[in-house]
Amino acid sequence: MRIGEVADKAGVSVRALRYYEEQDLLPARRSPGGQRYYPDSAVSRVRLIQQLYAAGLPSRVVREVLPCVDSNEAQAPPALLEQLVAERVRIDQRITDLLAVRDRLDGVIAISQNPGSDCSHLQ
């Protein structure tokens, strides 16, 4: 699959794919003319990379995690596992915070739909 196809199917820019390749996250083979070609699995790999980035993991950690994802037999080194557990705790806290914000927004929406009510309980 050519770079543009992967970018379209994965919903990322061509520039992002080049960056992932530069960071050794997404391997590509080259044609004699220098064009990049990716396996069909590249789309799901790019989506995984995007999810790991969205979770706040830096490229260095993503690079360490991918072999563990690629092979069900590979185990994460203890230091990486410790870092992943810490990231999971951070993500859980963020989820808790976002749920609290959502609840407050629900309150604002409810009051907006019933203009005669008092907003003082939202503070």
What is the per-residue pLDDT across 68-108, written as a single tens digit (0 to 9) for each?
A: 887 776 677 888 889 889 989 988 999 999 999 999 999 99
- Show the 3-state SS of 46-114: HHHHHHHHHCCCCHHHHHHHHHHHHCCCCCCCHHHHHHHHHHHHHHHHHHHHHHHHHHHHHHHHHHHHC
Asked if residues 39 and 26 have their Cβ atoms less than 8 Å apart, the reply is: no
* Confidence at 118, pLDDT banded by 50, 70, 90: low
What is the per-residue pLDDT across 28-74, written as a single tens digit (0 to 9) for each?
A: 999 999 899 999 999 999 999 999 999 888 888 899 889 888 777 66
Q: What is the pLDDT of residue 53?
A: 92
pLDDT: which is higher, 115 or 37:
37
Quick one: DSSP state of residue 25? S
- For residues 91 and 85, what is the distance between their CA atoms, to the nearest angstrom? 10
